[in-house]
Amino acid sequence: MGPCNQVYATHFSQSIATSRYFDDDFKERYSSDKFNYEGEDYVGHTPPGSGNYEDFKNAKPKQKEQNNNDQLSINLGPLNWLFYLAIAGAVLFLIYILVNEGGSRLFSTKKNKTINSYDNITAENIEGTDINNLIKNAENNNDYRLAVRYYYLLVLKTLSIKNYIKFEDDKTNSEYLNEIRGKSFSKDFDYTSYLYNYIWYGKFHLPFEKYEKAKVNFETLLKQVEK
């Protein structure tokens, strides 16, 4: 046998002598996706997260943001005491308004108010002013001229409440007469306006007897308006 034949025989004998064996679970070890050469689709599932690799690697739990609407918090720092002081002052002021007469406007403008002078009667408060009481006070003081003044204001108040006129501080008697022209009591109003102008602006002493006659005219007009 030549040298070449000896080498071949040795190699062949070594190949025969070397045996290969496969483990029983070798299929399972090669069944993962990286050994999938057949191109079959594999659907994976990724748990919800922030998308950052570090969070995924460290299994960092996702934290829920806190909604500012869930709780009301006021933090004014050093100005805290000033804030609460302002609230306390507002509450005290509201209580004052409600307790005193000025607070009545919050609920009704029709409530009678204590007014001691005709100068204080305005378009804003005439419907809430107790003019009958002012007339009585003037009569008790024998100031019949002032009583006539209040009677005329009482006529205007009644006309305003009945929506016959719109009372305004700077309106003239002629303007009021134009507003009620055509009404059944327009002539009586014209006459009482004359009495008022004559007595009040005449600035002379009005005796009780003449006051009583003028008073009858005002009372008659008021009854007609209130019908």
- Domain residues for the domain of 82 are 78-107
Q: Assess if residue 199 is contained within a domain.
A: yes
Name the band, by pLDDT with cuts 50, 70 and 90, for residue 13: very low
Same domain? For 152 and 93 the reply is no
Name the band, by pLDDT with cuts 50, 70 and 90, for residue 63: low
Share of the chain above pLDDT 70, in %: 55
For the chain, what is the mean pLDDT? Answer: 74
pLDDT tens digits for range 125-184: 888 889 999 999 999 999 999 999 999 999 999 999 999 999 998 899 999 999 999 999
Q: Assess if residue 62 is contained within a domain.
A: no
Q: Assess if residue 14 is contained within a domain.
A: no
Name the band, by pLDDT with cuts 50, 70 and 90, for residue 108: very low
Three-state SS annotation for the chain: CCHHHHHHHHHHHHHHHCCCCCCCCHHHHCCCHHHCCCCCCCCCCCCCCCCCHHHHHCCCCCCCCCCHHHCCCCCCHHHHHHHHHHHHHHHHHHHHHHHCHHHHHHCCCCCCECCCCHHHCCCCCHHHECHHHHHHHHHHCCCHHHHHHHHHHHHHHHHHHCCCCCCCCCCCHHHHHHHCCCCCCHHHHHHHHHHHHHHHHHCCCCCHHHHHHHHHHHHHHHHHHCC
Same domain? For 177 and 198 the reply is yes
Same domain? For 193 and 150 the reply is yes
Same domain? For 202 and 148 the reply is yes
